[in-house]
Structure 1
Amino acid sequence: MRLDEAISTIETSETMDELRLSLHRAIQTYGFSGFGFVDAGRPELDLPYYTGTFPRAWERTYIQNDFVHNDPALTRARRTNTPFTWSSLKLPERNGRKRPPEVRTMDAAREFGFTDGLVVPLHYRDRLGAIHSSSTVFFWEGEPRAFDRLLSSHRHELHLLMIYWVQRAMDIVNRDQRHAPTILKPADAAETIKLTAREREVMAWAARGKTVADTAEILGLSSETVEGFIKQALRKLNASNKTHGVAKSIALGIIDL
Structure 2
Amino acid sequence: MADLVGKVGLITGGGSGIGRATALAMADAGAAVVIGNRDASKGEAVVDLIRGRGGKACFQKTDVAQPEDAKALVARAVSEFGRLDLAFNNAGIDGEQVPLHEQDIAKASALFDVNLKGVFYCMKFEIEQMLRSGGGAIVNTSSIFGLNGYPGWSLYAASKHAVTGMTKSAALDYAKRNIRVNAVGPGPVETPLLAKGTGGDPNSYSAFVPMGRIGQPEEIADAVVWLLSDAARYVTGHTLPVDGGVCAQ
* TM-score of the pair, normalised by structure 2: 0.26
Answer with 1 or 2: which has the greater Rg.
1
* TM-score of the pair, normalised by structure 1: 0.26
Higher relative contact order (CA 8 A, sep 6+): 1
